[in-house]
Amino acid sequence: MTKYLITGGCGFIGRALTRELLTQGAQVRVLDSLLPQVHGDTRPATPDVEFIEGDVREGDAVKRAVKGVDGVFHLAAEVGVGQSMYEIARYTAANDLGTAVLLEALIAEPVKRLVLASSMSVYGEGLYRTAEGETVRHARRSAADLEAGRWDPVDATGTPLTPIPTDEEKPVDLASIYALTKFAQERAVLIFGATYPTETVALRLFNVFGPGQALSNPYTGVLANFGSRLINGSPATVFEDGQQMRDFVHVEDIARAFRLAMEQPPAAGHVLNIGSGQSYSIASVAEMLAEALNRPELTPEILNKARSGDIRHCFADLSKARDLLGFRPEKRLEDSMEELAAWIAAETSVDRGAEMRRELEDRGLVR
């Protein structure tokens, strides 16, 4: 029977991936440090799973975890653009040093394939098109633009650019410490795969949502953050003007994509976008969730302020994932709101959104 290791396997995506693998008849081992910010005081139940409590930076724990497995899904990481801009050492150590420790362990205990959870954040701004139809791969907004409330990237004449789906050929543009650490992980893993017997794949995940996300962690996914605010009677807090566009992909689709990335031979050595291929404005998503939670009166609080490290628009071109994995998303955001709202309503959450905003403002990271 095939046996897989999932680092960070007690997290939101890790639990969904565990279910996906068990359903397919695989055995699962999990390595997780049970970080309080993510898990609180709860020790996640892991039925039918071999669990090792340990940090991915701890060599002995990692060596024990990789021994005897056929493949590794590397999900363990600190996650959050905003927090990464001031907890720099923490993010760099967990993400980059943790990956290095894992790779060293795999020299002695090679596996068939390693699949890394990377992030769409490495793109910075997504792809754009000018009014003349030219593709723009290096759009950026200046600090002066943001302070003046000029939210959309423009061309040399000041004409707004039109966002288009972003493919893997777009050059990276690292706008946050989190993005920097994820790109370093990607490169380390792909270099390793070109050198040693272990094949490697990196998945650039777009905005993941679904039941099971950490509602009390304000640096987790935007929908969980909105849900925690709304269920506690406060409006969703939206940076800029709320019209920034994102791609939201259900966690069950993400789990299936990880399994396919482990199984499909053509994926070896590639970086792949995993998203829904659809774009939604952040304000409209907040409104959809408020409606699903029967809180339509809680209209989004539009801050008209920018958060350092954020980008304006980015949504996925999935052509490569379709070609190499046969991946097609099955659960659309608008069809999953009732499911998400029912789960949020049944959970107990602490709204830490104001705390997160205060931490960023105190450090000058909101302008």
168 within domain boundaries: yes
Contacts of 197 (CB under 8 A, 6+ apart): 110
16 within domain boundaries: yes
Q: How many Å apart are CA 262 and CA 199, to the nearest integer?
A: 9
Is the pTM value of this prediction over 0.85?
yes
- Token pair 């659809």 is found at 278
With a pLDDT cut of 90, the percent of the chain lying above it is: 81
Do the Cβ atoms of 240 and 286 come closer than 8 Å?
A: no
Q: Which helix (H) or strand (E) holds 113?
A: strand 113-119
Q: Which residues of 149-163 are buried (b: 16+ CB within 10 A; e: fewer)?
A: eebbbebeeeeebeb
172 within domain boundaries: yes
254 within domain boundaries: yes
More confident residue, 219 or 79: 79
pLDDT at 41 over 60: no
pLDDT at 44 over 80: no
Q: Is the dihedral of CA 18, 117, 111, 35 positive or negative?
A: negative
Range of 292's domain? 3-362
Q: Which residues of 263-285 are buried (b: 16+ CB within 10 A; e: fewer)?
A: ebeebeebbbbbbbbbbbbbbeb
Distances (CA, A) of 247 to 104, 171, 222: 34, 19, 11
**pLDDT confidence band for 36 (50 / 70 / 90):** low
278-325: per-residue pLDDT in tens?
999 999 999 999 999 999 999 999 999 998 888 999 999 999 999 999
367 within domain boundaries: no
Distances (CA, A) of 75 to 8, 233, 281, 341: 5, 33, 27, 26
- Start-to-end Cα distance in the chain: 54
Do the Cβ atoms of 228 and 351 come closer than 8 Å?
A: yes
Q: How many Å apart are CA 177 and CA 182, to the nearest integer?
A: 9
Total count of domains within the chain:
1
Distances (CA, A) of 79 to 3, 39, 94, 217, 313: 26, 13, 10, 10, 19
Q: How many Å apart are CA 44 and CA 337, to the nearest integer?
A: 25
102-138: per-residue pLDDT in tens?
999 999 999 999 999 999 999 999 999 999 999 999 9
List the catalytic residues.
178
Compute the average pLDDT of residues 249-259. Answer: 98
pLDDT of residue 39: 55
For residue 123, the 8-state DSSP code is G
Q: In what order do the strands lie in the sheet with 313-314?
A: 280-281, 245-246, 313-314
pLDDT at 214 over 90: no
The residues facing 73 across adjacent strands are 6, 115
More confident residue, 318 or 356: 318
The residues facing 71 across adjacent strands are 4, 113
Distances (CA, A) of 303 to 235, 237, 300, 356: 12, 7, 9, 14
CATH number, domain with residue 153: 3.40.50.720
